Amino acid sequence: MAEQPCDLGIIGLTSVGQCVAAHFAQSDQRVCVGDDDQSFVPEVVRAYQQQTEQDSWKDDGLVPSSKCMVPSRELPDVIIRVKRPRKIAVFGTFANDAKFLEIWNQIAPQLEEGDTVLRWGREEEGQYETNIQQYNKSIVTQLSKTYTERGINLLEMVRLDMDRTAIWSDLNASNAYMVGGPEEAFATMQPYMAPFVTHVGLVGTDAACVHIARVLQHTVENCIGQAFAEGMDLMAKAAGFDHTDIGRTFNKWNTEGDSGGRLTSYLLKASSRIMYKRDNITKQGFVIDYIREVNNITETDTFVYESSIRFGVPTPCINAALEARLFCNMKEERIEASEKLKVPSGADTPSVLKEQMCADLQSSIYCTILVIYAECFTLFQAIADRESWDVNIQECMRLWNVTGSFLNSKLLDAMHKAYKSQDEDPQSILLLPDLASELEALHMSWRRTVTVCFASAVPIPTLSAALTHYDMRRTPKLPIGMLQSQRDFFSGCGYERNDQPAGKIFSSCWTADQ
């Protein structure tokens, strides 16, 4: 009598892998299990059977759940025992491409058209990557390029980093994943993720999309943090606020009601609490004043900077936030320069109305955050267009905004609703009607903030670069004609005319009389 085929294959008997296998086996679905250490497989199956032996046979005569977890003899056996089209989940290879590739090389010869292999994301809270993987270096991305042509689907699953305090208070908040891969494959595997994943969504039709989305999530977090830092600096230097004044202002902004709420977010709440934290080591002052000005730059930080050039997408705001961090590492140079490059003080600095300045600053940071998101999503779409992927910006917004996420905010919720209401994806989220009208209403506050900062010699690279992005995006004619003319003047490289067909080159003799 032929053995009944299995419904699901589980490779990698980690604690989570065992839980998934046991859950579906107890639901009377046959699950074939395997591990790179095959000696471990019989032990796991035996333990499961002992736990379920007390269950009696079903009245309808079906196989008891204790018999639904099926051991494999070797990894290829998992594939052979699962019915077509096969559904395979691989555990225990988080941040370990070499291990996944070793497993893949054993099972790939048995895979056929229509089969789906899901690489499960980070399983334990103690697991962290030292650097977020670049999308073009992921082994799943590389394998997809070859095996998608054969009709074999690979899904990459990446767990979002969450606030540890939110995780402790709400376990559901710790379980959010982004998935990348074919839409049909995601729909096939989603029922097997659902019992173990509170929030999950498909962010793109290629495995690489999850790595890009995760890099952009951290980029947005860093840039918003920089915007709040610049706001803190302005309040301290231009308005004379002390730490508690700044903490109180941040808290006010984070409060619902007429006096605040627009910037309500996890990061703003955290920023407020940081300003109140006194130093327990020296018993003097606040912790923030004792933090050394150093900042390590990783591939994650430079991804947007490099990709913006490669894909032709301007990201001045994000680049400015990165360059601000580079300046942090130049402490000695800055100290020396401060002695030689004097800044205005006393009567040379403008006087400000503190309440007006804070109201303007709140609007400025709000507008800046919109630009930060716009730059990230525009770049994501540009990469997807070049690679012929479909990306789901709405799902990124939804998943980034779950409880416990660093980006959880009222603004992101409003952005998601505005984006969702559109029939077609806009060129930039800044062009969404609801967001565009807000920018139009708030931009003068933004300009006043930048003016005060420049006049007071307070550096605000992120806020000012975001305003530059806004103005350049809304300017129909930019002064590139002068640059092109200069090049033609000294090198005769020519230029195109806007009243002639594209591609037709003209050159002028600039030194001739008019």
pLDDT in tens, 211-231: 999 999 999 999 999 999 999
Beta strands in 314-460 (DSSP E): none
How far, in Å, are 55, 238, 244, 250 from residue 241 at the CA level? 68, 8, 8, 12
SS3 205: coil
For position 53, what pLDDT does the model report?
65
- Which amino acid belongs to residue 476? P
For position 123, what pLDDT does the model report?
67
Evaluate if residue 68 carries a pLDDT over 60: yes
Strand partners of residue 506: 495
Task: Band the pLDDT of 151: cuts 50, 70, 90.
Answer: very high
Closest alpha carbon to 498 in 514, 481, 486, 511? 481
Higher pLDDT, 351 or 298: 298
Separation CA 123–CA 101 (nearest Å): 19
> Per-residue pLDDT averaged across 336-346, rounded?
83
- Which amino acid belongs to residue 270? A
pLDDT in tens, 491-509: 999 999 999 999 999 999 9
Q: How many CB atoms lie within 10 A of CB 97?
A: 17
For position 342, what pLDDT does the model report?
84
> Per-residue pLDDT averaged across 136-164, rounded?
86
Full-model pTM? 0.91
- Which amino acid belongs to residue 458? V
Closest alpha carbon to 371 in 319, 323, 311? 319
For position 376, what pLDDT does the model report?
96
Higher pLDDT, 422 or 369: 369
For position 128, what pLDDT does the model report?
44
Task: Band the pLDDT of 148: cuts 50, 70, 90.
Answer: confident
Separation CA 408–CA 285 (nearest Å): 30
- Which amino acid belongs to residue 319? N
For position 107, what pLDDT does the model report?
96
Are 57 and 36 within 8 A, CB to CB? Answer: no
Which of the residue ranges 23-27, 46-50, 397-401 would you say has the lowest mean pLDDT? 46-50
Evaluate if residue 292 carries a pLDDT over 50: yes
Q: Phi-psi bin for 76: left (phi > 0), alpha (psi -120 to 50), beta? A: alpha
CATH 3.30.310.50 fits 216-473, yes or no: no
Task: Band the pLDDT of 260: cuts 50, 70, 90.
Answer: low
Evaluate if residue 1 carries a pLDDT over 70: no
Separation CA 96–CA 107 (nearest Å): 17
SS3 433: helix
> Per-residue pLDDT averaged across 380-385, rounded?
95
Structurally, at CATH architecture level, domain 482-514 sits in Up-down Bundle (1.20)
Q: What's phi and psi for 418, nearest 5 deg? A: -65, -40
Evaluate if residue 257 carries a pLDDT over 60: no
pLDDT in tens, 429-460: 999 999 999 999 999 999 999 999 998 899 99
Separation CA 265–CA 163 (nearest Å): 13
> Per-residue pLDDT averaged across 172-178, rounded?
72
Task: Band the pLDDT of 174: cuts 50, 70, 90.
Answer: low
Task: Band the pLDDT of 167: cuts 50, 70, 90.
Answer: very low
pLDDT in tens, 44-65: 999 988 887 655 444 444 456 6
Q: What's phi and psi for 112, nearest 5 deg? A: -130, 170
Evaluate if residue 165 carries a pLDDT over 70: no
Average pLDDT, the chain: 89
Higher pLDDT, 154 or 422: 154
Evaluate if residue 361 carries a pLDDT over 60: yes
How far, in Å, are 221, 337, 428 from residue 435 at the CA level? 20, 41, 11
Six-digit token pair at 327?
């300046």
For position 198, what pLDDT does the model report?
87
Domain ranges of the chain: 8-207, 216-473, 482-514
Task: Band the pLDDT of 126: cuts 50, 70, 90.
Answer: very low
Domain spanning 8-207, CATH class: alpha beta
Six-digit token pair at 404?
């416990």
Evaluate if residue 127 carries a pLDDT over 50: no
For position 64, what pLDDT does the model report?
60
Evaluate if residue 164 carries a pLDDT over 70: no
Evaluate if residue 150 carries a pLDDT over 50: yes
Which of the residue ranges 71-75, 293-297, 390-394 would you say has the lowest mean pLDDT? 293-297
